[in-house]
Structure 1
Amino acid sequence: MSRPQQVQLSHGGGGREMNDFIHNLFFRRFENPLLKAEDAATFTLNGPVAMTTDSFTVEPLFFAGGNIGSLAIAGTINDLAMVAAQPKYLTCSFILEEGFPFSDLERIVDTMAEEIVPTGAQIVCGDTKVVPKGCADKVFINTTGIGEIVLPNVSASQLQPTDVLLVSRDIGRHGACVLAARESLRLESEIESDCAALWPIVNTLLNKGITPRAMRDATRGGLSAVLNEWCQSSNVQMRLDEQAIPVDTAVKGVCELFGFEPYDLANEGTFILAVPAQQAQDALSVLQVFQAQAAIIGEVTQGSPAKPILCSPWGSKRYLDFPVGELLPRIC
């Protein structure tokens, strides 16, 4: 069968075209012993598990540092990693618009196949739907992940005063990257998304004996949303050193241009963790092996109201509030 130029309705019709489409595109790239032409995947799990699901939609589909496919894999892997669960199995479902270029779909699926390899997880089942032109915007992806919990009780409800807060790299890259792409901004240096699967970093932390109280990838709402949610969950305050929070110069420039704060912008490969004070330097050393910009940014404290407090280098203080409104729709 010749390679199609565009996705057609027959590719979701359940007949020969769909069978060829699924086997030649998805099975060939996601091949593993558990991926079969059955209605369900079967496998064995040992001990407690974590499960997550997410849907992905971004405009543009392709951006510096990734595409909707890398978002789909990294997003689901990271949700498992943030509760200290080793990713094991993923499902993957596509909603495709009739007429979507087949070459673009191949690029997306190729990226997904590459992104999942370092995590050790496998895509074990999926689904494809093709809708008439105009009934969807190009492509939407849904993924569900299952992982085996390595360290129990990693949760925002476990924070304690004197715990130290760290960030795994500079913040705001994904939101700034997508915004720059939409507005066709010409920057001195291109902003690449931080999109990446975080399990290899988390696994190294756990293997080094680090026992995080909480971890969270700072996606929509960015650093601000995560820290406010944590304060509410554990009824604590936080003191943040504004100068210690790493922000790339190009991201600062985009924020100044549009009136945003980098703390509110989305990330797709950056996470925040809280650890006991005695583990802070060891945790930082591990993070800096992967990203030199990793930093200690503050500590958990007692106080009311339960909000993070941003402390400037000049001695002023302000609450770092939840982002308000929808800064950037369709970013992940």
Structure 2
Amino acid sequence: MNKDKEEIILLAHGDGGLLTRELVNNIFLRHFDNPLLRPLADAAVLPAQTGRMAFTADAFVVDPVFFPGGDIGKLAVCGTVNDLAVSGARPRHITASFIIEEGFALAALEKIAASMAAACAEAGVTVVAGDTKVVPRGHVDKIFISTAGVGMIPDNLGLGCHRLRPGDAVLVNGSLGNHGLTILSARENLGLEGGLQSDCAPLNGIIRQLLDKCSGIKIMRDLTRGGLATAAKEIAEAGGIDIYLQEALLPVDAAARGGAEMLGLDPLYLANEGKFLAIVDPTEAALVVEILQRHPFGRDARVIGEVRAGKGNVYMETALGGTRIIDYLAGNPLPRIC
């Protein structure tokens, strides 16, 4: 193999032949190796599980591929794990399929695979199956990753909007908007100051602690595209209740606040990749905050509002004493953030 073939992805890496085998063995299997993946069969054979299974699928097209705080590989693992975790599931296995542009650097692909492996180890999940396709230059932007994930939900757990009641407390586990602003800054070379970086992180560990210690968790949502505002609106409509948020209580750190103000963006609608909303019984709100704040991914957790009787609306009680309606995101100001 000549030097050029060693440095970039060729169309032949996707033809199922020798170069495909080398790619799988030298990069993917080396980083993702586990007994379930090792046979490299057409389908992973998984041990049977009792109880309810959660299943999710996702795709990741973030631009740029590498950004402060993460990359497309870490994002793919964390995004999949977090979708399972907020559903109450304990993530077990994921699959990963790669669509790669001809000419993509092999060193960059290896960096992505290593980042995915590290995220899997942190989250306690395994990659059990995958696929690789290579397309000609210009037919995809560098690399896209498609995932699926499975996890098990404990028999005694039942999250859902049907459990919501007036008086329930609304919480988040930390600062809003960091991921969306980081991607925008990196993409447009804005050079936003203050150490701004993505909050990309696997949340299943912190969520499992909550579910193990608190029976009053009613529903959770991962605050990705559309941010806190969209998640709150979806819950309010599905539950037939109103949610009142307190502007003065919203956690937005100095770096995110400064960037959002400079660009005229609302942190409520900006994407996050390590934040979730939880609605809990008011008698357990203080305990939930205490548990969250003891974890690295929840140090700035707080109650930000409450559920009230209503018809599916979300309101923000402003710092000036007024009230404004919070609705769905209308027009995405920042595509390809995940």
TM class, shorter-length: over 0.9
Task: Give yes or no for the alignment of 1:312 onto 2:321.
Answer: no
Give the structure 2 partner of residue 99 of structure 1. Answer: 103
The residue type equivalent to 1:317 in the other structure is: T
CA distance in 2, matches of 1:206, 1:236: 23
The residue type equivalent to 1:84 in the other structure is: G
Q: Pick the aligned partner of 2:40 from 37, 41, 61.
A: 37
Indicate the RMSD between aligned Cα atoms, in angstroms. 1.3
Task: Give yes or no for the alignment of 1:11 onto 2:16.
Answer: no
- Displacement of 1:16 in angstroms is 1.1
CA distance in 1, matches of 2:244, 2:16: 57
- Displacement of 1:268 in angstroms is 0.5
Over residues 166-218 of structure 1, what are the superposed CA-to-partner deviations in whole Å (9 max), with x where a residue is unaligned? 00111111001111112212333121100001000011111223441100110
Retained in 1: the 8 A contact 2:99–2:134?
yes
Normalised by the length of structure 1, the TM-score is 0.97
Give the structure 2 partner of residue 327 of structure 1. Answer: 333
- Displacement of 1:154 in angstroms is 1.2
CA distance in 2, matches of 1:324, 1:95: 30
Point out where structure 1 has 5 or more consecutive residues left out of the alignment. Answer: none
Alignment of 1:40-55 (within 5 A): 40-43=43-46, 44-55=48-59
**More displaced stretch, 76-85 vs 145-154:** 145-154
The residue type equivalent to 2:212 in the other structure is: N
CA distance in 2, matches of 1:85, 1:191: 31
Retained in 2: the 8 A contact 1:210–1:283?
no
* SS of residue matched to 1:59: coil
Task: Give yes or no for the alignment of 1:303 onto 2:323.
Answer: no
CA distance in 1, matches of 2:216, 2:125: 23
Over residues 284-327 of structure 1, what are the superposed CA-to-partner deviations in whole Å (9 max), with x where a residue is unaligned? 011111232111001100124x2111112321111112111011
- Displacement of 1:283 in angstroms is 0.5
Retained in 2: the 8 A contact 1:5–1:102?
yes
Task: Give yes or no for the alignment of 1:256 onto 2:261.
Answer: yes
CA distance in 2, matches of 1:181, 1:157: 41
Over residues 257-279 of structure 1, what are the superposed CA-to-partner deviations in whole Å (9 max), with x where a residue is unaligned? 22211000000010000011111
* SS of residue matched to 2:245: strand
Alignment of 1:1-332 (within 5 A): 4-35=6-37, 36-43=39-46, 44-150=48-154, 152-290=157-295, 291-304=298-311, 306-332=312-338
The residue type equivalent to 2:24 in the other structure is: I
Pairs aligned (count)? 331
The residue type equivalent to 1:37 in the other structure is: L
Normalised by the length of structure 2, the TM-score is 0.95
Point out where structure 2 has 5 or more consecutive residues left out of the alignment. Answer: none
Retained in 1: the 8 A contact 2:214–2:288?
no
- Displacement of 1:107 in angstroms is 0.8
